[in-house]
Structure 1
């Protein structure tokens, strides 16, 4: 491990500052921070934990070095040192992890670490996460190391918070406010990215187009508030079926699209899982049990496709065929 700078100075590498100022998104910013921190304050591990929208948990968003607690791990606030630092907005040093009763410290100890230090990330008086350092050896961190980390955390909090706001703004711009699915703008963005991968690496991808059968009748018979509830529940079921790598979008009314990597057979199997899950969807209105079905059209990228519109038109044609043949079915072209 490198030696720590003296307690009255903070030595930040110029390369780190330059890279940080040029980082384009939250993930890149957090990765840079976790990669550089062990070089600034000698450590064997660095991570960034952020609030993940829950009042009870934090999530490890970036990690460098020892992976006793891996990236994307969800940690409870109530029984952890990192949670206490987050809640109290106060730095903590633990130089003897073997004796700690905190859940995260126990996991770090089992993973080979001997000591750790956590500093809160704060913006305008609100804590939104922590910076965390760990060492294989016990008794590593001195008060001046904690003071350095806390000062760095206060400085970096501005960068991280700004990227979080940009990420949230982008998410709102690409999200349908009713169903929380992505919107048509996201369809174009993701679809064109997949099309480029196809053109450069021949990486196949597919499109599933989904319509709720006779949706207008639900609106006419029960009111638009019931139609909205159908759309919301439908979207929740879809999100339970698809994987994180698959992109679900509402492109208008009761028309939805899913983009996924893989060929038409893989996409058809997913469409069928969705169709069956929607049919089993429990939705009641007063004393009525509403039976919801969907029709699906599936296609995959082909050599002659010059734009995303080619896939869209072909999936739409397949969807029309499903409706023509009686609905509640999947057609692949």
Structure 2
């Protein structure tokens, strides 16, 4: 009963904890159970031997032979003792096997937990890089390095990113290979191991042995030659997994081993965890980059937005004050824009805004700053520029806009606009003052255009 109670308690503890502590408790309970069971059997053996000794003594003292009944009792005692000893031996053997199994499981789980923790720490570090604005290709390279370091038997690796056509894979990160032009190296999705082996249906990692033999089935001789040059066949074993973001394929990670029997079944579980975390990291990167983009750029036209422009303008004005440099603001307002929306619709109005923004952006220097100020107003800042240079820039904008009509319902429409100019230091000392004067000059130009 004590033994059964102990086993029951062990199972209850396992259900409660279900972690590494449960394994420790299992071992402790097994040892306790074995000790109590052995003690129980030993008491039975001692009792049997004591009875046997007492019987033999009585027989000697009485100077009489044992009766048939006495012999049967002694035989039963002996058989019971022998049976119990055999049970004890079997129980001890079974106990040792259970202990070995539990210890192996504990070590295997401990190894998995340690590796998972290392990958998790790498993921946390990468999230910090995302916040700092690190680009996606750099993040992928760090992710690949973390996987190669943590997963056993891993000597090299590749990460491919799916192209917009959802058919080609672009090489985004690699380690242990030799590429002359990595930015032009790409694969067709249908030729990858994952696609050929499971059509990407189960989204699970797979282990490949004898990579070259499998490649011959799915790749052209030209592709095989390219892979030979990169050193791909120095690694006969492959552990590969898809990278997905919200259920959509983002890319493929492929880890390579020089060992032809490299990677074990346990590595599949680790790779599944890693590829899942990669998807989360990349999704975070996309969201943060999008937020950063929207904080700096206008989502419709792609030029800078007002908030970012004003932040930069303040810095430029501070520099101009310190170094006695000239600055000019050019403020634009599209003429008749409301009538375009009313006549042709808002999609046509958006097309006019985008065409205007693109044309002006291409007409100015890369060091100048151009932004959508709001609605149908745009603003440009020219620094390190004199009056003559400013006239040249404005004339370039006028000529380029005149040569870039917008087609609205089959009719070429030339964008009409008014503009005003103000400069530092001749028109004012601060950004706000210069902007106010440029706005006044633009309004005067608009009145003239209406005449």
Structure with the larger RCO, 1 or 2 (CA within 8 Å, 6+ apart): 1
Separation of aligned partners in 2, 1:53 and 1:155: 22
Larger radius of gyration: 2
Q: Quick check: 1:48–1:130 contact (8 Å CA) kept in 2? A: yes
Gap regions ≥5 residues in structure 2? 1-107
Partner residue in 1 for 2:192: 81
Structure 1, residues 278-298: CA drift from partner, whole Å, max 9, x if none?
333242234532123667889
**C-alpha spacing 1:141/1:168, structure 2 compared with 1 (3 Å):** farther
Structure 1, residues 113-163: CA drift from partner, whole Å, max 9, x if none?
33565421134533333334467x695854559624333112332232233
Q: Quick check: 1:76–1:83 contact (8 Å CA) kept in 2? A: no
Q: Quick check: 1:47–1:131 contact (8 Å CA) kept in 2? A: yes
Q: Quick check: 2:194–2:241 contact (8 Å CA) kept in 1? A: no
SS in structure 1 opposite 2:298? coil
Separation of aligned partners in 2, 1:290 and 1:34: 52
Partner residue in 1 for 2:143: 33
Structure 1, residues 138-194: CA drift from partner, whole Å, max 9, x if none?
9585455962433311233223223323333444455535434442233345667x7
Q: 2:407 aligns with which of 284, 293, 308?
A: 284
Separation of aligned partners in 2, 1:306 and 1:63: 53
Partner residue in 2 for 1:43: 155
Partner residue in 2 for 1:95: 211
Structure 1, residues 15-59: CA drift from partner, whole Å, max 9, x if none?
63552353325636445314433323433454462x565545555
| TM-score, with length taken from structure 2 | 0.48
**C-alpha spacing 1:222/1:321, structure 2 compared with 1 (3 Å):** closer
**C-alpha spacing 1:14/1:173, structure 2 compared with 1 (3 Å):** closer
Separation of aligned partners in 1, 2:249 and 2:311: 33
Gap regions ≥5 residues in structure 1? 1-5, 328-333
Separation of aligned partners in 2, 1:270 and 1:80: 52
Q: Quick check: 1:208–1:259 contact (8 Å CA) kept in 2? A: yes
CA deviation after TM superposition for structure 1 residue 230, in Å: 0.9
Does residue 162 in structure 1 map to residue 293 in structure 2? no
Separation of aligned partners in 2, 1:158 and 1:187: 32
Superposition pairs for residues 219-298 of structure 1, below 5 Å?
Answer: 219=340, 222=343, 225=346, 226-235=348-357, 237=359, 249-257=371-379, 264=385, 276-286=399-409, 288-292=411-415
Separation of aligned partners in 1, 2:163 and 2:422: 35
**C-alpha spacing 1:78/1:216, structure 2 compared with 1 (3 Å):** same
**C-alpha spacing 1:18/1:165, structure 2 compared with 1 (3 Å):** closer
Q: Looking at secondary structure, tell me which structure has more helix per residue.
A: 2
SS in structure 2 opposite 1:96? helix
CA deviation after TM superposition for structure 1 residue 234, in Å: 3.0
Question: How many residues are matched?
Answer: 311
Q: Quick check: 1:119–1:132 contact (8 Å CA) kept in 2? A: yes
